[in-house]
A and B are shown apart, each in its own frame.
Chain A
Amino acid sequence: MAADPFARLADRQQSLRTALRALKAAGPGSPDFRSLLATTNAEVEAVVQARRDVEAARLTSPNRMIAIATTAAALIVAVGWFDAWSLLSLLVAVATAASVLVDPAGRRVFEPRARTTAICAALLATLLTPLASGWATLITAAGIAWWAWRTLK
């Protein structure tokens, strides 16, 4: 099996094509449709997982960079525009950044990009905190909600 995620995805897609050909040839009425469907389902899961690996490989370092940037920005904002009400937004953003730093890609099938969205929202909120103070938390919360929704659905 290829070590490169791109090659592995292509590999998986090829074997899914084979499984689908067999499934199509059998047709829904045939007696072994059930078992072929199960085989194809396993192939589909493998393809989707391979795509997740590709996405994870592509998004791991950007996610990490944005998380570091968010943490740094939060520190700067906390010192430069100190305000107790703003602190809420900064803390939530830093918490999001910390979780993305620990695991930039996540484990679920559609999680890598959802994490990117969440951490981008956290960075935006941090940058807007001097203007919107505590209300910027809403942006981070929306990002987290999007993350959860895309991951769990």
Chain B
Amino acid sequence: MNIDPVKALDGKVERLKKELKSLETRIDHAQTDAAHHQLSQANQLKDNTRKLTKTNDRVTELAESVHRLERLLVALNRKVRASETQKADFDDWPEIDEAQLAKIHKGQEAYARRVFTPQEAKDTRKAIAEYDRRALEAIDAAEALTHLPPSAETLWRKNYQQWRSITDQERPDAPDDDTHAKDTVAKTAGNEAIGHVRQLIRARIEDAVARDLLFPAWFENMLGPAAPPGKADDWLYTATDVVLYRLLHGITSPADALGPAPQDEGHRKTLHNRLTGECADYRRP
């Protein structure tokens, strides 16, 4: 038994110190464990991300390969059908004659023609009257030249200049009052012709679809192998327009349905753009 209180206190302090040390050690251990745990989790996350990326790449590759296969299949399908299926003919149209196409062209021209506004017609008439007045003046001046003595130089100059003022000018064309009526007739005839021709073309396309005929290469290139589900009517409408476009503008390329894009602004360019856009929609998977 220790009777010295100082010694007893010392012993206690010593024990407490030991306990403190053991506690510190335990806390240190706990911290290290937590750090380890976190690190391993982070590593796992990184691993997973890497795996995901790899999987993504693989999926892309696979999609490409599927796409390639799909195209191969379409081509193969065509080849197989070509050997045993009857071909649809969308290039020869004996039932559509030149006169009808000419009517359609005339109607389109009539639609494209700019109509004289009343103000413009008035201005043109005024310009014509002005021109006529000056022409008569110039004729008078030229008449003066026929009896002037050669020495009257000032008068010669004046009259000669007056004459010259008319020779380098054009008489504007008179606004035609008939244009409007003629255009209306041309538009009506063109619309009728378009309706008729469209009916013929559509009937032949529908027949080809019904009999499962092989479409021409340009047709399939442009409109896909068949109508997209649920859009048969729109598809037929566009297909009719494509065939009509080829007919109207004399395009005979076996591969390119619409031919080169037209340079000039106008109805043809609008139609070309419209058909290109619509057909791209139909080809989309």
Partner of B167, one of A29, A41, A109, A113: A41
Q: In residues 17-32 of chain A, which contact B (Cβ within 8 Å)?
A: 17, 20, 23-24, 28-29
* A-side interface residues, number (CB < 8 Å): 26
Q: Is the CB of B153 within 8 A of A113?
A: yes
Give the CA-CA distance A71 to B157 in the complex, in Å: 31
The answer to the question of B135 belonging to the interface, with a C-beta cut-off of 8 Å to chain A, is yes
Partner of A33, one of B151, B153, B171: B171
Binds A, one of B142-150, B187-195, B264-272: B142-150
The answer to the question of A47 belonging to the interface, with a C-beta cut-off of 8 Å to chain B, is yes
Q: Is the CB of B146 within 8 A of A29?
A: no
Give the CA-CA distance A34 to B135 in the complex, in Å: 11
Give the shortest distance, in Å, between A55 (CB) and chain B (any CB).
Answer: 6
Give the CA-CA distance A6 to B151 in the complex, in Å: 12
Q: Is the CB of A48 within 8 A of B145?
A: yes
Q: Chain A residues with Cβ under 8 A from B145's Cβ?
A: 13, 16, 44, 47-48
Given A13-B146, A44-B142, do A29 and B153 touch, yes or no (CB 8 Å)? no
Give the shortest distance, in Å, between B79 (CB) and chain A (any CB).
Answer: 64
> Which residue of chain B has its CB nearest to the CB of A40?
B142
Q: Is the CB of A28 within 8 A of B142?
A: no
Q: Chain B residues with Cβ under 8 A from A113's Cβ?
A: 153
Q: Chain B residues with Cβ under 8 A from A128's Cβ?
A: none
Q: Chain A residues with Cβ under 8 A from B171's Cβ?
A: 28-29, 33-34
> Which residue of chain A has its CB nearest to the CB of B129?
A28
Instruction: Determine which residue in A20, A24, A51, A110 has the highest number of CB atoms from chain B within 10 A of its CB, and name it.
Output: A51
Chain B residues with CB under 8 Å of chain A are 131-132, 135-136, 139, 142-143, 145-147, 150-151, 153, 156-157, 160, 163, 166-167, 171
What are 10 pairs between A and B in contact, CB < 8 Å? A20-B143, A28-B136, A29-B132, A33-B171, A37-B135, A41-B167, A44-B160, A47-B145, A58-B151, A113-B153
Chain A residues with CB under 8 Å of chain B are 6, 9, 13-14, 16-17, 20, 23-24, 28-29, 33-34, 37, 40-41, 44, 47-48, 51, 54-55, 58, 109-110, 113
